[in-house]
Chain A
């Protein structure tokens, strides 16, 4: 019942956020916070009770057995890691949205979003996975479209149509897979021998769906618009959860299910990954819009995730999952601070900023820490993630991957250059007397401190994360032998 309650409770209490706003404006945010804490407790309970390997906490709800359309929920180490991210981000995003306008509708949509989000990571039935996957679009559309920046309507429409179109390919892949195997169950699909040509067709169709969500070049164009126009807390959901859905789907429903086909397509994945890393790196280098730059660096990091996945070894997959955690924590921090910079200086453009370290040293210190984590400073999650991904890629592909560290240097380049122009140096004219340019309030600082604390803890003691899912990854890695 734990997993089902984690999916249903946010959705069921969501209308109360909307209704409750009429009676007390503060009620929705406390409700959302309570749900976030509930998710965190449930996840902690699951982690504590998790036996260490394989799927646990099976919950099976018969809906229509002849079509295998049953709600089958279970978690393994990888899902647990992602559930922990969901719970963590649910709390931090609620805190970051403490003073949002129209809180009733906003938190209603957040709660509606969290339930299916949990469902994506715990569903072992492919059709239910798709149902949860697709439903997350609707609240996101309204979040971007109502609370976003100037160009929000265009971004919301593009986001919805683009990702829905991608899901159509995923759905077609699911249909073809079902007709060849007559099951949607993960554990049954694992033991099915699929005709190689059909497996390749299914793999490609599903890959398009996942690649758009991740996103990787050339399917990334929805992301910069959506991220830039979305309000910062929603950018955190987009980067921290929505992109993870793509990577998780690729891992769970393609790499684990079709090890041989994935092996066939591994060079393609690696090529796309390297292309993504470099393309996003150069775009970020050329970008003047600070949030768009963070968005490209987010794509850059997702390239590392895909690179780790494409190295079909235990080390590669472990590294990719770890990089997902690091990305969720680090990029979330950067998105939040980029949003605050705009809020305080009323400009998005690096060329119009300068020397704000002098006015808001506290916030900018956190920004610098975040940037250093993003470029892979030892002691942070970014370092462990990138290093392990690169080692795994070397191991699998050999010396071709020598170019990847160059991309890492590229990442360091665009971030440091941005810091030098925007944060350090002489204070720009007009900023001395800017009233809005002041430090954050306490409640706004808490989530930022939580991100920093989390990525430092995870970076210093990586085994906290690795131990959770390494046995699972090792078990599945035997499939690739």
Chain B
């Protein structure tokens, strides 16, 4: 691991850790808190961006390559924007600084997770990412969030337990946790396959793949939407990259035997996610099930792991996903805060009340639906090109049909916002500095369009990674 990257994680986690302390000492306001955290994010982002130079430390545990730099930077940006929106919508809450503290520590864990190349560091990073979110889910302190918190905790514990069992099997066979040692010593064996199943299951919980997706919508719906945007966007993207490292660096020898199973799980995840999303009335649940469907699209790229394009597909979809999903939930959060809009009926005519915010929400929804020129389109092109290249045209067809049908509910939200007459008369919280909140969302929309047309950074990074893992 590069020393600058390590410093970036440290800076972020320490800023987060000291934020509540600073609040106890000086009683900071929301804007001051946002400024202090922003300094942490900016320093951390700078350090991540320069982490291609400098000394390497902790060699056997973490690695720094173009993929971790790219995704790390994007995760930081997304998490930064989440932080700003959370401060804006919960400024008056007593514990907001504690919430932001947990958010920053969790993001530091995500930064470690995407660069872990050892099962010990992988589990530690994943726990560092997950533990603070157990607290964050409970933040709203109402019945629904307690239910969500308990569900999330037990599912998270089960996931990590399954994963640890799989890892212990691998350790028992090879005596090593290191990816580079495992890839040399493992061979296609039923016990290895069993271990791989457990590890896949653990990640399956994290990325809400079918049949481990049940907790997802309940938790994303039950908790406050700012937290949900971190869980769906940042945590899941980091988990995609973590799984990618496991599949390509540690157990490629057995992963090749799983392509058909992965393909079937991918097809089921997409279909289930989209069908259930179509049936929902609450916008947060629609977004939650759409995030299940997007886990399916990423799994399509995993199923195509025999071709180098699959790496591009996974990385590109994670890049697009971390922005569009986070931002979509943030838009929902802002609309919920200002207008109290939860269900599809509440969304009627909101686009007329909030033209700019509605337009931004529309950009994120269209990107999720895969309409060009947003990054969601080109990432789907890469994912399905990888599937066709790997000889799974049927899977690409299922995926594309899913993508076409998913348009129905994304465009349904657009329809409610712009084509119907408003039902909500007065805003619940009318904030005078409302236009400021558009700034972080605009940043994400612009980045989404830039990454939709300018392919170089993502494709080059994934090409380097593909070369590293032997394509």
Contact = CB atoms under 8 A, between A and B. Distances in A.
A176 B384 CA distance: 10
Nearest to B359: A18
A171 B419 contact: no
A157 B415 contact: yes
B338 interface: no
A100 interface: no
Contacts of A138: 366, 371
B17 interface: no
A156 interface: yes
A305 to B, nearest CB: 26
Interface residues of A, number: 33
B334 to A, nearest CB: 21
Nearest to A105: B355
**Nearest 3 A/B pairs, CB to CB:** A131-B372, A64-B455, A145-B419
A476 interface: no
Nearest to A137: B371
A174 to B, nearest CB: 8
A175 interface: yes
A171 B401 CA distance: 11
A67 B371 CA distance: 20
A382 B359 CA distance: 42
Contacts of B407: 160-161, 164
A123 to B, nearest CB: 12
B351 to A, nearest CB: 10
A165 interface: yes
Contact of A130 (B372, B384, B396): B372
A172 B371 contact: no
Interface residues of B, number: 32
B455 A141 contact: no
Given A164-B404, A164-B407, A176 B388 contact: yes
Interface string A108-148: 00000000000000000001001100110110011001100
A153 interface: yes
A63 interface: yes
Nearest to A148: B419
A400 interface: no
Interface of B: 366, 371-373, 377, 381, 384-385, 388-389, 393, 396-397, 400-401, 403-405, 407-408, 411-412, 414-415, 418-420, 453-456, 459
Contact of B373 (A135, A160, A165, A167): A135
B396 A161 contact: no
Contact of B419 (A137, A152, A179): A152
A168 B381 contact: no
A67 B407 CA distance: 27
Contacts of B415: 145, 153, 156-157
B256 to A, nearest CB: 20
Given A64-B456, A64-B459, A145-B418, A175 B384 contact: yes
A424 interface: no
Contacts of A141: 411, 414
Nearest to B397: A172
A163 B388 CA distance: 23
A69 B455 contact: yes
A168 B419 contact: no
Contacts of A164: 371, 404, 407
Contacts of A160: 407, 411
Interface in A288-341: none
Nearest to A167: B404
Given A153-B419, A157-B412, A176-B388, 8 more contacts: A64-B456, A135-B373, A137-B371, A146-B418, A157-B415, A164-B407, A167-B404, A168-B404
Contacts of A430: none
A195 B199 CA distance: 42
A127 B380 CA distance: 13
B408 A179 contact: no
Contact of A168 (B393, B401, B414): B401
20 contacts: A63-B455, A127-B381, A131-B377, A135-B372, A141-B411, A141-B414, A145-B415, A157-B412, A157-B415, A161-B407, A161-B411, A164-B371, A165-B404, A165-B405, A167-B404, A168-B401, A171-B381, A172-B388, A176-B388, A179-B388
